[in-house]
Each structure stands twice: as structure tokens, then as C-alpha cells.
């Protein structure tokens, strides 16, 4: 029996030329072998362009080579020439699937959307806490590979994740307070005490310094970080009700995508630390720039996900500092969330 978990917000449709941050530029497009064979047989001018655009890298992957990090088939109208001429089914797997994410655990599959996509970010982050639900579907005709983890451990993680979901959806207390509860609960499950006494003092500058040290994928993100670093006289921090809901939606999605990965590691705590870093880093930028308009806030959440979660080098660096830097310890995060209003 295979269980498929489908988030309610998975009903996604690309907004094409209306997208403010198209995935047709700034990304490396890998062409799957089946599509490469198909493209090699396309007649006419489009076929010539396809064959000319495909190149093989050092790892043996076939890529579309373009100029200025732009897909050669993304035209002046910000539409795809391949889809316009041949239909959506002719797109390679990379283009047809993004921003959809599939996580196959063997005895269950979970589907999600990547927040790197502006439209996916809008769909998720505008959900109310009551709409943050998962739908379980039974698909006995699907047979997954045997799980490569301890089934008992996975079952425990699934129960824990459900409890964390309940905390995030519970609006009787502010979102930041619920995130503190999530951190403390995971530490309790893992017999890891949250020690706030004598821990390093975490400040906005720590988040900005790390983000500034990372590889930058988008010019808009570079400009945002520069502006945030220059502004240190922002008004006292406060979380509005819409922002509170965005924090809950982001946290829900992050735990949905990442918490069960602990079945393959020694601890789930690093994933919670990464969640807290993500939320606090975004709040730092929102605070410094005093952003009140929801569209601009959503842009910050989306760009953070694109820059950090979609860049393997940046993600590795984040995992390293969370493991080694005392300023990002569980105790430091607990104290910082309390300071922000998560008392």
C-alpha cells in the first residue's frame, strides 16, 4: 500500500510571461535522455535550434546552452518556443516538472511545490492556518521501492511531525512562540536540553553577515541585502497578523518537506535549526526594510528559498554554520525568538 500525501496548495499553474522571476533564466536546464532523443528528431528550424542548443557537460548531462544564463528557447515575449510549437508534453522533465517536488520514501510519496517559484510561494504563503492541511490518498496499484530506513523511526518522525503541525496551526499563541515550542519539543524528544544561559547573543547582523557570504543568484536579492545592511535604525520589531500567517505557512511547508529526512540522519534538530534560521533571516530583512506590502514580503520569502534552498553550495554552508557556530545553537535561537516576541 502506497500513501500519497498531497498538500492542498499543490494545484499549481504556471503564470508564464506574467512571472516576475522566470525559471527560464538564471537556472541550468538539464535535458533528460528521452527528451534529448525526441529533440534530435524534430524537423525544421526548431529542430535545428534544439540540436544546436544541446551540449554535454563534464558529468555527462545534456544541457541547453544559452547566453546570459537565459534559456535559448525563452523568447522576447517571455514564452517558451518549444511549448508554443510542440505543446507542454514536449518539454523536458526539468521544465515540465518544476516547481513540483516529489519525495519518494518507498512506502509513501509526498508532493510539494518549490518556494523558489513566485507563483508557488504565493499559493502557499497566502494560505490561512486552517488551510494548512495534508490530504492522504491510498494508491494500492502503486508499488514503491523498499524503504531504506528504520520503519519504526519513520513512524515516530511522522507522529512528531503531526504534533509540530498542530502547534503551527494553533493560533491561540503567536507564531514565533509556537516555533519556540516546536524547538523545545524536538529537543525534548531527542533528550537535548535547550540551554539559554550563557549562550551566544544572536543578532540581526549574524543573519545578514551569513547571507552576504553566500553565492548570489539574483540581482534583486543582492540589492535587497545591500539595502538591509545599510539600514540599522528600523522601528521596533513587530509581527502583523498577515505576517504571522506567512510564518506559519512557511514553517508548515518547511517541516513537511524536510522533517522526515531525519529518518536518514541521526537527528531532526538540525532541520528545525534551519527552519528557525530561515524565518529569522527573512524577518531581519523585512524589519530592516520596513516592508508592509504583502507582495513585496512574498518576494522576500521566495528569493530566500531560491538563494538558500535551491543552491547546494549555500545550503551546505548553512548546514555547516548551524552545526559549528555557537551563535546559531538551539539555545541562542530560543532566546532570540523570545526576544522577538515568542515569549
Q: How many degrees, rounded to 5, is the angle at CA 117 between CA 162 and CA 293?
A: 90
Residue 191 CB partners (closer than 8 Å, separation 6+): none
Residue 110 bridge partners (DSSP) = 5, 103
Determine the Cα–Cα distance for residues 204 and 211; give it in Å rounded to an integer: 11
Please report the pLDDT score of residue 57 as a whole number.
Answer: 81
Digitized pLDDT (tens) for each residue of the chain, 343 residues in all: 456 666 766 678 888 888 888 888 877 788 888 888 888 888 888 888 888 888 878 878 888 876 667 888 888 888 888 888 888 888 888 888 888 888 888 778 888 888 999 999 999 999 999 989 888 777 666 555 666 788 889 999 999 999 999 999 999 999 999 999 999 999 999 988 776 666 778 899 999 999 999 999 889 999 999 999 998 776 777 889 999 999 999 999 999 999 999 988 989 999 999 999 999 999 999 999 988 889 999 999 999 999 998 888 999 999 999 999 999 999 999 999 998 875 6
DSSP 265-293: SS-SHHHHHHHHHHHHHHHHHHHHHT---
How far apart (Å, rounded) are the C-alpha atoms in residues 15 and 17? 6
Q: How far apart are CA 322 and CA 281, in angstroms?
A: 13
The pLDDT score that the predictor gives to residue 40 is: 85
Distance between CA atoms of residues 208 and 277, nearest Å: 11
pLDDT at 259: 95
Distance CA 336, CA 314 (A): 23
Instruction: Tell the residue number behind the cell numbers 498577515, with chain if given.
Output: 242
Report the DSSP pairing between strands 108-113 and 3-7: parallel
pLDDT at position 1, please? 45
How does DSSP classify residue 77?
T
Amino acid at each position: 500500500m502506497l500513501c500519497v500525501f498531497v498538500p492542498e496548495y499543490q494545484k499549481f499553474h504556471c503564470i508564464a510571461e506574467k512571472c516576475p522571476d522566470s525559471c527560464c533564466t538564471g537556472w541550468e536546464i538539464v535535458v533528460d535522455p528521452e527528451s534529448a532523443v525526441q529533440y534530435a528528431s524534430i524537423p525544421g528550424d526548431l529542430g535545428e535550434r534544439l540540436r544546436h542548443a544541446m551540449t554535454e557537460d563534464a558529468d555527462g548531462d545534456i544541457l541547453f546552452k544559452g547566453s546570459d544564463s537565459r534559456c535559448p528557447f525563452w523568447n522576447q515575449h517571455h514564452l517558451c518556443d518549444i511549448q508554443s510549437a510542440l505543446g507542454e508534453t514536449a518539454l523536458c522533465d526539468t521544465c515540465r516538472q518544476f516547481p513540483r517536488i516529489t519525495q519518494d520514501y518507498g512506502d509513501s510519496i509526498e508532493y510539494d511545490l518549490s518556494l523558489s517559484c513566485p507563483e508557488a510561494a504565493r499559493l502557499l504563503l497566502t494560505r490561512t492556518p486552517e488551510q494548512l492541511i495534508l490530504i492522504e490518498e491510498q494508491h494500492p496499484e502503486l508499488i514503491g521501492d523498499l524503504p531504506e530506513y528504520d520503519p519504526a523511526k519513520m513512524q515516530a518522525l511522522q507522529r512528531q511531525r503531526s504534533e509540530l503541525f498542530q502547534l503551527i496551526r494553533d493560533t491561540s499563541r503567536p507564531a514565533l512562540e509556537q516555533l519556540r515550542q516546536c524547538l523545545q519539543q524536538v529537543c525534548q524528544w531527542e533528550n537535548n536540553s535547550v540551554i539559554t544561559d550563557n549562550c551566544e547573543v544572536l543578532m540581526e547582523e549574524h543573519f545578514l553577515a551569513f547571507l552576504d557570504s553566500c553565492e548570489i543568484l539574483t540581482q534583486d536579492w543582492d540589492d535587497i541585502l545591500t539595502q538591509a545592511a545599510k539600514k540599522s535604525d528600523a522601528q521596533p520589531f513587530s509581527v502583523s497578523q498577515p505576517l504571522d500567517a506567512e510564518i506559519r505557512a512557511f514553517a508548515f511547508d518547511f517541516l513537511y518537506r524536510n522533517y522526515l529526512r531525519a529518518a536518514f540522519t541521526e537527528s531532526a534538530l538540525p532541520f528545525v535549526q534551519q527552519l528557525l534560521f530561515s524565518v529569522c533571516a527573512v524577518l531581519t530583512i523585512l524589519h530592516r526594510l520596513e516592508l508592509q506590502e504583502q507582495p513585496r514580503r512574498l518576494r522576500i520569502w521566495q528569493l530566500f528559498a531560491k538563494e538558500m534552498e535551491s543552491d547546494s553550495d549555500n545550503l551546505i554552508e548553512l548546514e555547516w554554520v548551524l552545526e559549528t557556530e555557537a551563535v546559531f545553537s538551539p539555545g541562542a535561537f530560543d532566546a532570540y525568538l523570545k526576544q522577538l516576541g515568542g515569549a
